[in-house]
Each structure stands twice: as C-alpha cells, then as structure tokens.
C-alpha cells in the first residue's frame, strides 16, 4: 500500500535522437502519473505512462499514436518497452536462447523504433510498474476485465485532450492479457461500458500473443479441447528441437493443425470407444507430431497437456522446455519430484529475460527519459490472482460480451478498423491454435483481419531478427499496408 499522505503526481521530461531509415529523428518524452479521483477529489489510483513524441514534424494532430501495454493481469509495460518499442532497447545476443540473466546488459538506440511513423505511449496499469493503487478499498474499480478496460479508455481520453491528439489515428497494442484489454477497450469504446459511453473509435488493434477468446476468460469453458488447440504449438516445439521432418516449420504446423481438427478432436470425443488399429494409428500420429512417448499418451488417455509436455518432449535429455517460448530449455530439477511442487516451477524464458528488461528500463532508459531520483518502487509484475489462486482480487468475468465478441462488435461498427494478430510459433501460453479458433468463430471481417506467425514465443520480439520483423510488420500495418507473410486460418 502506498502512503497517500505523501503522494503527489510525478512528471519527468526527457528526450534524444536516433537514426531511423536514413532519417535523423529527434524526440521528447513525458513520463507521468495519470490520477483517478473519487467524487470528493480524493486520489484513488494512477496509471503511469511513458510518452514519446517526435519533435521534427509539422503537424502532430494527424500523426498516429500507439498505446502499448503488456498483460498479466498485473504486468507492467517493461518488456514491450525495453524489449521492442522504446527509443532505447536491449540488444539481443546472437543466439537469443543464450544465458542473459547476469549483467552487464547492453542497451542500444533502437534501430527498429516506430517513431518515424507514430508517437508511442507505454502504459503501466494501476498496481504495475510505477502505476499505483492509492486506496485499497477502490481495488474493484480497477481490477477486473471491464474495469481495467474502462480505466484504460479514461486514461486515453485524458491523454488525447491533454496533448491535442483527438484527430490522430489511434492504435491499441496489447501483449498477452493486454490483448483481452485491447479487445475489450475497443468494444466498450464503441458501445459503452456498464454506466457510461465513450464514443471512441480505434483505427486498429495489434495483438501480440492472443488472449481474445470465444468463451470465458482465456477459454475457460470453451467447447474445444485444450489439447486440440495446443497441438500445433507442440508440433512447432518438437520441430525446433528434434527436426522430425524436412518440411518447413509453417507447413508442419499447419499439417498438425488439420490433423488436430479432423482426426484428434473426433478421437477424443470417442474416448474409450477408440480401440484397436484406429487407436494405434492416432497414437503414432500424435507421437510423430509432438515427440511424446506412447507411455505418456496411454497414461493420459491420449490427452496432451501443456505442463507435462514441457517435461516430456526433451525427457531423454533431462531438459524442460519453456511454456513462454519453447525454444528455451532448462535442466530438469533434482530431485524430480520437485517439478510438481508449488514454488519450484520456473520458466526458462522469464528467468533469462525479466532481469534483462528491468535492468535496461531502470538504468540507461530511465536516464534518457529523465526519470531520476524517483522515490517509488517499480513493480515489474504482480499476481492479481488467477482461477488457481484463492482470494483473487481480479474479476475474470465480464458483465457483458466476451472479449472476442467485443472485438467483433468494434470491427463491425467501425468498418475501417483493422486487427493484426501476431503470434509466436513456440508460444505454449497463448497458442497459435487459439488464434485460429478465434479467427474462425468470432465473425471478424476477413478482409480487415490479419495473422502472422513468428519463429519466437510469447514475447515475439526476443531476438534481433524477430524484433526487426515484428516492428516492420507493425510499421506496415500502421501505414495502411498489409504486413508480408500474413495468413488465414488453416482450412479445417
């Protein structure tokens, strides 16, 4: 809990220059608290924002603005800020899966920054990063699917008025749970929330690691077996580590997706009725696509499961692959029983890169942003609770439409709005199968909905090649073009 008696809104100014696409780009930054007050004028909470403005432009009012955030819920914007979109960012090692957990870290002028085509706003939601919940009793005003999205909209409205940017093209860029936030905000912006309207249209949403769903939050209660949606990503991870085929990655993954829909899903529905040669045929196909053993499949009635798959696919090497990015591995814990013990589960991606991103943001990046002598703790992420954690403060139920319905309504109401799904092939947290399922079930306008896979994981931008390609694709999207290599869902 923050001491409200000592609270006063913070504001820092900075700036610099960098060279982008042969141009010298100068910019200024404003990093500040955006305060929410109750009816008596008491401060309840803040959203902290980091705004980047290009200075050598004639007319800012028509210049696009990207509002960028991570997810959680409970994550600050540190990874999208330090890892991808900031004017400074981390420099990735030649092999992005190499060890990076210990300093020194290298921070560089971002050669892929989007400041040549848009101004950028990084957002720390309430309770994350430098964002504050000043009154614990007000937590339910901010900690929920709808409440969080409405807080974002109120922040954006104030920001647009403060900087005279209402006529600017506006984009939401969400990563992980940030996709739920972006889709919900886009829908509420068009149709209104529980008690008020916003009349705010967005030119587009960019969704990194999809959590936009066709059922309850993160597909709880969805009619599709989680194993079916996960199988294409498991196939990608098996391909990466074990090379079971000479096929290109994308071809192998799409083939696995068609198998999942046409053979695996009906087989799971049949249950114990699937016997003899048919059952053996299915097992052989699953083993070929995922690398799991026959014993693994029989022990689980042919159902694939994310956490156990991470331990199974490289079991002979005694390594565990990362849920967040299947390219990354760590040694299996000793003794092995600890792998199933709460508190002992670790992820090879986050343990490598989280210290990297925080060191960059709170070090050289903060100095460039003018954030100095700031007596406030930075919260990279916190657990507002999940369905697995009793006493959750976060309301995972939406009072109105599902996030997928919200996105669909926004796109059908605003016939120029576009959506770009960007997903890592090796992401077991928000799998490619979930994207395809969303695209084929939510009535999203096909001519304005784009999807692209990247040879990466949950944080698509990890690796110099990936951050460069993702940034270029977003630049194309913001400029009204279709990013190269986009695809439709496989024909199931």
Q: Which of 288, 241, 239 is nearest to 260 (CA)?
A: 288
CB 286 within 8 A of CB 292: yes
Distances from the Cα of 9 to the Cα of 40, 97, 236, 379, angstroms: 17, 40, 47, 17
Q: Provide the residue ranges of all domains of the chain, joining segments of one domain with +.
A: 4-219+353-478, 226-346
> How many C-beta atoms surround the C-beta of residue 55 within 10 A?
12
CB 37 within 8 A of CB 48: no
- pTM comes to 0.93
Distances from the Cα of 132 to the Cα of 78, 242, 386, angstroms: 15, 46, 20
Distances from the Cα of 213 to the Cα of 177, 180, 329, 431, 436, angstroms: 11, 8, 29, 12, 11
Q: Which of 35, 236, 259, 57 is nearest to 154 (CA)?
A: 35
Distances from the Cα of 78 to the Cα of 43, 69, 361, angstroms: 25, 9, 7
Question: What local confidence, expressed as pLDDT, does residue 388 receive?
Answer: 41
Q: Which of 117, 115, 122, 111 is nearest to 30 (CA)?
A: 122
How far apart, in whole angstroms, are the C-alpha atoms of residue 242 and residue 3?
Answer: 53
Give the architecture-level CATH label for domain 4-219+353-478. Answer: 3-Layer(aba) Sandwich (3.40)
The alpha carbons of the chain give a radius of gyration, in whole angstroms, of 22
CB 393 within 8 A of CB 142: no
> In Å, how far from its chain's centre is CA 315?
29
CB 58 within 8 A of CB 21: no
Question: What local confidence, expressed as pLDDT, does residue 387 receive?
Answer: 45
Buried/exposed 300-326: b ≥16 CB within 10 Å, e otherwise: eebebeeebbbbbbbeeeebbbbbbbb
Task: List per-residue pLDDT tens for the chain, 492 residues long.
Answer: 555 567 889 999 999 999 998 899 999 999 999 999 988 889 999 999 999 999 988 888 889 999 999 998 889 999 999 999 999 999 998 888 877 666 778 999 999 999 999 999 999 999 999 999 999 888 889 998 999 999 999 999 999 999 999 999 999 999 999 999 999 999 998 887 767 888 899 999 999 998 887 666 655 555 568 899 999 999 999 999 999 999 999 999 999 999 999 999 999 999 889 899 999 999 999 999 999 999 999 999 999 998 899 999 999 999 999 999 999 998 887 666 566 555 556 788 888 888 889 999 999 999 999 999 898 999 988 876 544 444 458 887 766 778 888 999 999 999 999 999 999 999 999 999 989 988 888 899 999 999 999 999 999 999 999 999 999 999 999 999 999 999 877 776
């Amino acid at each position: 809990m923050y001491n409200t008696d000592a609270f006063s809104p913070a504001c820092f100014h900075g700036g610099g220059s960098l060279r982008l696409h042969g141009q010298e780009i100068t910019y200024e930054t404003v990093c500040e608290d955006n305060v929410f007050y109750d009816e008596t004028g008491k401060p309840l909470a803040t959203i902290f924002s980091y705004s980047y403005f290009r200075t050598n432009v004639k007319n800012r009012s028509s210049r696009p603005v990207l509002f960028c955030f991570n997810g959680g819920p409970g994550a600050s914007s540190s990874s999208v800020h330090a890892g991808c979109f900031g004017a400074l960012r981390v420099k990735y090692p030649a092999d992005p899966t190499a060890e990076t957990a210990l300093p020194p870290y290298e921070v560089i002028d971002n050669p892929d920054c989007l400041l040549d085509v848009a101004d950028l706003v990084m957002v720390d939601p309430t309770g994350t990063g430098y964002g504050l919940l000043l009154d614990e009793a007000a937590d339910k005003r901010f900690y929920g699917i709808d409440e969080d999205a409405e807080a974002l909209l109120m922040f954006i409205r104030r920001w647009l008025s403060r900087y005279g940017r209402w006529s600017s093209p506006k984009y939401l860029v969400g990563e992980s749970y940030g996709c739920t936030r972006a889709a919900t905000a886009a829908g509420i912006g068009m149709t209104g929330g529980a008690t008020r309207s916003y009349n705010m249209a967005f030119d587009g949403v960019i969704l990194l690691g999809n959590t936009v769903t066709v059922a309850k939050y993160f597909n709880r209660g969805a009619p599709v077996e989680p194993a079916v949606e996960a199988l294409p990503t498991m196939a990608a991870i098996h391909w990466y580590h074990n090379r079971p085929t000479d096929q290109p990655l994308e071809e192998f993954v799409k083939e696995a997706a068609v198998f999942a829909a046409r053979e695996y899903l009906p087989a799971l529905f049949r249950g114990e009725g699937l016997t003899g040669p048919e059952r053996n045929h299915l097992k052989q196909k699953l083993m070929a696509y995922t690398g799991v053993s026959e014993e693994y499949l029989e022990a689980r009635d042919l159902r694939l499961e994310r956490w156990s798959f991470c331990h199974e696919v490289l079991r002979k090497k005694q390594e565990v692959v990362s849920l967040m990015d299947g390219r990354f591995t760590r040694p299996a814990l000793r003794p092995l029983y600890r792998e199933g013990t709460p508190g002992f589960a670790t992820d090879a991606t986050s343990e490598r890169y989280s210290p990297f991103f925080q060191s960059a943001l709170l070090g050289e990046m903060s100095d460039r942003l003018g954030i100095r002598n700031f007596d406030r703790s930075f919260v990279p992420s916190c657990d507002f609770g999940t369905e697995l954690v009793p006493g959750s403060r976060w309301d995972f139920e939406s009072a109105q439409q599902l996030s997928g319905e919200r996105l669909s309504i926004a796109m059908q109401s605003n016939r120029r709005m576009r959506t770009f799904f960007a997903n890592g092939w090796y992401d077991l947290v928000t799998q490619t199968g979930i994207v395809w399922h969303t695209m084929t079930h939510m009535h999203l306008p096909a001519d304005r909905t784009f999807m692209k896979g990247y040879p990466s994981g949950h944080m698509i931008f990890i690796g110099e090649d990936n951050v460069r390609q993702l940034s270029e694709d977003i630049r194309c999207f913001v400029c009204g073009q279709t990013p190269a290599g986009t695809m439709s869902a496989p024909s199931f």
